[in-house]
Amino acid sequence: MKKILEVRGLTKIYGSGCPRCISATGPAHDTNVCPHCGTVVAAHDVAFDLHEGEILGIMGESGSGKSTVVKTLFFDDKPSSGSARFHDGEQVQELFDLNPAEQRWLRNHKFGMVYQNPNLGLNFNVSAGGNIAERLLMNDLRHYGDIRDRARQLLARTEVLSNRMDESPKRFSGGMQQRVQIAKALATRPPLLFLDEVTTGLDLSVQARILDLILEIQQELNTAMIVVTHDLGVIRLLAGRTLVMKYGRVIEAGLTDQILEDPQHAYTQRLVASAL
Amino acid sequence: MNSSYELPLDEADYNFGFLDEYAKREIRRAILKSICIPGYQTPYASREMPMGRGFGTGGLQLTLSLAGPDDVLKVIDQGSDDSVNAVNLRQFVSLTCPGLTTTTHTSDATIIQSRHRIPEQPLNESQVLVLQVPYPDALVVVEPSEARRKAMHGEGDYSRLLTKLYEDIVKFREITISHRYPTRINGHYVIDPSPIPRYDVPQLNQSPALTLFGAGREKKIYAVPPYTNATPLAFDDVPFRTEDFHDDRGERIACARCGSTRSFLDELPLADGSKRWQCSDTDYCDQQLQLKSGTLTGARQ
């Protein structure tokens, strides 16, 4: 299998920082706030590889740093240190060394993001079709008919009624909004997709259908995905490999089955045991 | 302004062109930069003028920094030489630029300052068209932050503007922007060509005359240099189109005054509820009338 993303030593701290920040935080100290200077160590020394068509789960409780990792990789936030290498065909891009213009280019052409809150991923001032058109227009498609056809196909693929494509997503249900977000993220057929708590806040039947959709897409397009969630069910269903994070550190990593059936770290054991 | 008005003695020693030479030099530098980077909005220190911002102070400062005693100036407002804004600006310039002559004839002018129209008669290489601009940035309708707009301009990222056009076509089956039509200059920057009607936009393309845009309140100058491509944003299969002046029977409406069928028309509602169409460019209309009656003088034929 071909590697698509290599992340090494990814660290993000919020605050001034002091030499003792790293040694005084983490799961062993039960905090991610440095007691000496008040700096928040949101993520420290996160490392993983992602292969083509693979789904990697990042699991952890609120504030464990899982979203921070995805945000830095999608350039929503700058990391404090660390490296991330993106393999784009034959080319290798050092993500954090690119200038903002190159980062925006990658984001628009090669990455896709589905946020928990559709407000972040969608423009509610334009129609559902318009949201997808925007992504396509970024990719220099300039034919109105083609754009419309593509948008219709994508919405049909994500099971949004095509007679509602000219409506504002404002008037859609939460599950529909998530589907439009997924369609938008997929518009450019990106090789890498980030999913940040996509099913949180949706009811169970809708959740199941969205997860099915994600799996189908992964099989169809061979898209590599990073799925961030606190929901063990989502991890079990989607992810082949999983990282477990707590207080900004990766405490356990491995095959999802292994982690769920035979957790090594005490925290993971509690997490798995407490799952309904 | 009363045409017999003279500056009081203590103000009579104003510099030629009202602005001091340093101010003019700064504006000229901004003009040069704008010409070098077609469509780029060059910031400049818009001076306080003795009239409210929004009354053409941007265009006026361009005109004053360009004008010399041997220039011939034409000022129009919506195509007319006689409307209040045009008359005021023309009188102000002639008051502060002794020696400069004014005209209403497009072909005689060396500098044409205009609000919301480009003259019908094609301009030539020795003329400069100065347009007054209320909103210089075409992206302002889709992005409120200027910092982000600048990045978008720099990267030539106009996808959100095109999304607006897409939405228009979805909702109304055509692009509904009537004026200030976003236009791409020299393949990169998209400008707001000031509130000229769509009809005038093709005139910017490969124009022999230099076109300058001045926004006084927003403190920006930009330019379409002579013989530069100016392409209105559109889709490959939904081309840009100008105003349609055909009536129900498919005939091109003619100007009720001069009979021209090749000009941009204003719709005038009449007292009895009917309407009448007339050239918006008054100089062009007069010229057509003179052509008809054979009284057009040699130089202007």
**Domain containing residue B60: CATH number:** 3.40.50.11310
C-alpha B224/C-alpha A146 separation (Å) is 32
Query: Does residue B110 share a domain with residue B248?
Result: no
Rounded distance between C-alpha atoms, residue A189 and residue B123, angstroms: 48
The active-site residue out of B17, B39, B56, B59 is B39
Q: Tell me, what's the pLDDT at A227?
A: 94
Q: Which of B166, B168, B190, B235 to mutate to test the interface with A (most CBs of A within 10 A)?
A: B166
Q: Among all residues of chain B, which has the CA nearest to that of A136?
A: B159
pLDDT band at A200 (very low <50, low <70, confident <90, very high): confident
Mean pLDDT by 10 residues, chain B (301 residues): 67 84 96 97 94 92 96 95 93 92 95 96 96 96 94 92 94 91 96 95 96 96 97 94 91 93 94 94 94 69 45
ipTM of the complex, rounded to two decimals: 0.84
Shared-domain flag, residues B130 and B256: no
Are B128 and B253 found together in one domain?
no
Q: Smallest Cβ distance to A144: which of B154, B166, B171?
A: B166
Please list every residue in chain B whose beta carbon sits closer than 8 Å to the beta carbon of residue A166. 170-171
Burial class of residue B100, CB neighbours in 10 A (0-12, 13-18, 19+) = buried
B113 and B250 within one domain:
no
Q: Which pLDDT score, from 0 to 100, does residue B301 have?
A: 45
Handedness of CA A54, A60, A65, A68 (dihedral sign): positive
Q: What is the pLDDT of residue A244?
A: 93
Whether B236 contacts chain A with CB within 8 A: yes
Flag if B155 and A101 touch (Cβ within 8 Å).
Answer: yes
Beta bridge mates, B114:
B76, B131
Catalytic, B97? Answer no
What is the rounded distance in angstroms from the CA atom of residue A184 to the CA atom of residue B55? 44
Handedness of CA A204, A209, A212, A217 (dihedral sign): negative
In the beta sheet, which residues pair with residue A248?
A: none
The whole-angstrom separation of Cα B295 and Cα B293 is: 6
pLDDT of residue A90: 85
Which tokens is B170 given? 């979805």
Domain boundary among B208, B231, B254: B231
Query: Do the chains contact at B235 and A144, CB–CB below 8 Å?
Result: yes
Nearest C-alpha neighbor of A256 from the set A266, A267, A268, A270: A268
* Phi, psi of B45, rounded to the nearest 5 degrees: -85, 85
The bridge status of strand A81-88 relative to strand B265-269 is unpaired
In the annotation, is B285 catalytic? yes
Of the two residues B3 and A88, the one the predictor is more confident about is A88
Q: Are residues B47 and B100 in the same domain?
A: yes
- pLDDT, position A88: 86
Lowest model confidence (mean pLDDT) among A134-138, A187-191, A201-205: A201-205
Total number of domains constituting chain B? 2
State the pLDDT at residue B151: 92
What one-letter code names the amino acid at B43? P
Q: Could A133 and B166 be called an inter-chain contact, meaning their C-beta atoms sit closer than 8 Å? A: yes
Tokens of A153: 């196909």
- Which residue carries 């057509």 as its tokens? B288
Q: Which of A101, A137, A143 sits opposite B163 (nearest CB)?
A: A137
Same domain, B259 and B212: no
Q: How far apart are CA B282 and CA B255, in angstroms?
A: 11
- The residue that leads in pLDDT, B61 or A27, is B61
Instruction: Give the three-class secondary structure for A228.
Output: strand
- Do you know the residue count of chain B? 301
8 Å CB contact of B170 and A143: no
Q: Please say if B36 is a catalytic residue.
A: no
- Report yes or no on B48 lying in a domain: yes
* Nearest CB partner across the interface for A134, out of B160, B237, B238: B160
| Residue B296 · residue B290 · CB < 8 Å | yes
Chain centroid to CA A218: how far?
14
- A97 CB neighbour count, 10 Å cutoff: 11
Residues A40-45 have a mean pLDDT of 92
Instruction: Flag whether B179 is in a domain.
Output: no
Domain containing residue B263 = 244-301
Location of structure tokens 């840009």: B240
Regarding whether B300 and B265 lie in a shared domain, the answer is yes
Q: What are phi and psi of A215, to 5 degrees?
A: -65, -45
Task: Respond yes or no: is residue B255 known to be catalytic.
Answer: yes
Same domain for B96 and B62: yes
Cβ count within 10 A of residue B113: 29
- Residue B19 included in any domain: yes
* Predicted TM-score of the model (pTM): 0.86
When scoring B139, B161, B163 by the number of chain A Cβ atoms within 10 A, the one with the most, hence best to mutate, is: B163
pLDDT of residue A133: 94
Residues B93 and B211 in one domain: yes
Catalytic residue among B17, B97, B214, B258: B258
Residue of chain B whose alpha carbon sits nearest to that of A102: B155
- List CB contacts of B266: < 8 A, sequence separation 6 or more: B78, B79, B277, B278, B279, B280
Q: Are residues B200 and B294 in the same domain?
A: no
One-letter-per-residue 3-state SS of chain B: CCCCCCCCHHHCCCCCCCCCHHHHHHHHHHHHHHHHCCCCCEECCCCCCCCCCCCCHHHHHHHHHHCCCCCEEEEEECCECCCHHHHHHHHHHHHHCCCCEECCCHHHCCEEEEECCCCCCCCCCCCEEEEECCCCCHHHHCCCCHHHHHHHHHHCCCHHHHHHHHHHHHHHCCCCCCECCCEEECCCCEECCCCCEHHHHHHHCCCCCEEEEEECCCCEEEEECCCCCEEECCCCCCCCCCCCCECCCCCECCCCCCCCCCCCEEEEECCCCCEEEEECCHHHHHHHHHHHHCCCCHHHC
Across the beta sheet with B128-132, the strand order is B42-43, B220-224, B210-215, B128-132, B111-115, B72-77, B101-102
C-alpha A106/C-alpha A102 separation (Å) is 6
For chain A, list the domains and their CATH numbers.
Answer: 53-75+99-274 (3.40.50.300)
Please state, in angstroms and rounded to a whole number, the distance separating the CA atoms of residues B32 and B26: 10
Same domain, B123 and B41: yes
At A260, which helix (H) or strand (E)?
A: helix A256-261
Q: Does B125 touch chain A (CB under 8 A)?
A: no
Same domain, B106 and B204: yes
Q: Give the whole-angstrom CA distance, residue A108 versus residue A224.
A: 16
Last residue of a domain, one of B182, B210, B231: B231
* Residue that terminates a domain, selected from B231, B258, B293: B231
Distance of CA B242 to the CA centre of its chain: 17
Residue B185 falls inside a structural domain? no
**Quick check: A14 pLDDT over 80?**
yes
Q: Which of the residues B170, B174, B231 would you substitute to probe the A interface, choosing the one with the greatest number of A C-beta atoms within 10 Å? A: B170
Distance from CA of B140 to the nearest CA of A (A): 15
B39 catalytic? Reply is: yes
**pLDDT, tens digit (0-9, with 9 covering 90-100), for A138-181:** 888 899 999 999 999 999 888 888 889 999 999 999 889 998 99
CB contact (8 A) between residue B167 and residue A144: no
Q: Which residue does chain B place closest to A103, by CA atoms?
A: B155
Joined tokens for residue A48: 């993983």
Q: What is d(CA A209, CA A179) in angstroms, rounded to the nearest whole number?
A: 10
Instruction: DSSP for A87-127, please give it.
Output: EETTEEEEGGGS-HHHHHHHHHHTEEEE-SSHHHHS-TTS-
Tokens of B163: 């999304």
Report yes or no: A21 and A41 within 8 Å, Cβ to Cβ. yes
| CA A26/CA A23 separation, integer angstroms | 8
Contacts of A149 in chain B (CB under 8 A): none
